[in-house]
């Protein structure tokens, strides 16, 4: 009898435990699901871009003409508005960014054609130039510090002159040279970037005068440019 009672008690306890376990399995879990993390997009400089720029340019070259009374005389230097458009491509690897950029600019960089006797033939301050440059720099997240350099071309005006001995000569032609500079660019958004850039441009301007070599006539086209630009970066 005693063993029967103990057996019945054990069976009842087992049934109670089993029922409790089954009921607990039906209850909703008290554990929270694993949190889901959405990774923030990481900005990259890689991609094509295009934009506009505006700034100031000033002549630093040497312009000389021949005066029959005073000999060789240095011409005037000046400066003015520079503005245009640019387009390019960047590729980022780690912190480093490399790319290529081309631009075309209007440039009123001053009258370089000062000549003896009259201002009518002094030349135009209006002109243009363009560049095809490589760019390389270091990115600090959305900020990019870079250097740039490459080919330059253009006609910045001022290659026209008059001298009573040498006569009237024009030099409206495209000349080739080089450019070197650098700048800082910042990504305002994932698509828009703003930059400040400085360039030195040296165009191999040809002598306008047939006798220029004999009287030390020179028409150097060298100028500096400081400009600000806004780019749209294509995703």
Q: What is the pLDDT of residues 139-153, one digit of tens each?
A: 999 999 999 999 999
Note whether 174 and 152 are within 8 A (CB).
no
- Asked if pLDDT for residue 202 goes beyond 60, the answer is yes
The pLDDT, as a whole number, for residue 35 is 61
Q: What is the pLDDT of residues 13-66, one digit of tens each?
A: 555 555 555 544 454 555 566 665 555 558 899 999 999 999 999 888 665 555
Residue 3 lies in a domain: no
Residue 169 lies in a domain: yes
Percent of the chain with pLDDT over 90: 44
Q: How confident is the model at residue 81 (pLDDT cuts 50, 70, 90)?
A: very high
Residue 201 lies in a domain: yes
- Tell me what the mean pLDDT of segment 169-183 comes to: 80
C-alpha dist (Å) from residue 83 to 35, 47, 57, 126, 157: 52, 24, 9, 12, 16
- Tell me what the mean pLDDT of segment 161-180 comes to: 66
**What H or E segment, with its residue span, contains residue 58?**
strand 47-59
Residue 93 lies in a domain: yes
Residue 134 lies in a domain: yes
Distance CA 167, CA 200 (A): 32
Bridge partners, residue 134, by sequence: 100, 149
- Tell me what the mean pLDDT of segment 60-74 comes to: 59
Q: Which of 169, 152, 151 is nearest to 160 (CA)?
A: 169
Note whether 231 and 50 are within 8 A (CB).
yes
- Asked if pLDDT for residue 196 goes beyond 90, the answer is yes
Work out the mean pLDDT of the chain and round it to a whole number. Answer: 75
The pLDDT, as a whole number, for residue 116 is 44
In DSSP notation, 155-186 reads E-S---EEETTTEEE-----EEEEEEEEEEEE
Domain of 194? 47-233
- Tell me what the mean pLDDT of segment 98-121 comes to: 71
Task: Name the most confidently modeled range: 113-122, 132-141, 166-175, 204-213.
Answer: 132-141
CATH number at residue 78: 2.40.160.20
Q: Which of 172, 179, 163, 149 is nearest to 212 (CA)?
A: 163
- Asked if pLDDT for residue 133 goes beyond 90, the answer is yes
For residue 46, what are its two tokens?
């890689």
Q: How confident is the model at residue 121 (pLDDT cuts 50, 70, 90)?
A: very low
The count of domains in the chain is 1
Residue 1 lies in a domain: no
Residue 20 lies in a domain: no
Least confident of 74-78, 114-118, 137-141, 202-206: 114-118
Residue 227 lies in a domain: yes
- Tell me what the mean pLDDT of segment 100-123 comes to: 67
Comparison of pLDDT for 166 and 142, the residue scoring more? 142
């Amino acid at each position: 009898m005693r063993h029967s009672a103990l057996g019945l008690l054990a069976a009842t306890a087992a049934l109670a435990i089993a029922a409790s376990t089954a009921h607990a399995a039906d209850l909703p879990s008290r554990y929270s699901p694993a949190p889901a993390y959405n990774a923030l997009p990481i900005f990259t400089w890689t991609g094509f871009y295009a934009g506009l720029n505006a700034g100031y340019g000033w002549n630093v070259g040497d312009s000389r003409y021949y005066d029959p009374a005073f000999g060789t005389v240095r011409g005037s230097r000046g400066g003015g508005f520079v503005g245009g458009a640019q387009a390019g491509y960047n590729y980022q690897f780690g912190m480093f960014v490399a790319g290529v950029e081309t631009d075309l600019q209007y440039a009123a960089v001053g009258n370089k054609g000062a000549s003896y006797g009259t201002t009518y033939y002094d030349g135009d301050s209006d002109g243009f130039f363009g560049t095809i440059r490589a760019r390389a720099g270091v990115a600090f997240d959305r900020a990019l510090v870079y250097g740039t350099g490459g080919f330059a071309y253009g006609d910045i005006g001022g290659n026209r002159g008059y001298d009573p001995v040498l006569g009237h000569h024009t030099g409206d032609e495209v000349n080739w040279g080089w450019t070197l500079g650098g700048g800082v660019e910042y990504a305002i958004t994932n698509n828009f970037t703003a930059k400040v850039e400085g360039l030195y441009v040296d165009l191999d301007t040809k002598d306008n005068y047939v006798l220029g070599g004999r009287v030390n006539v020179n028409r150097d086209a060298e100028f500096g440019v400081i400009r600000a630009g806004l780019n749209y970066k294509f995703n």
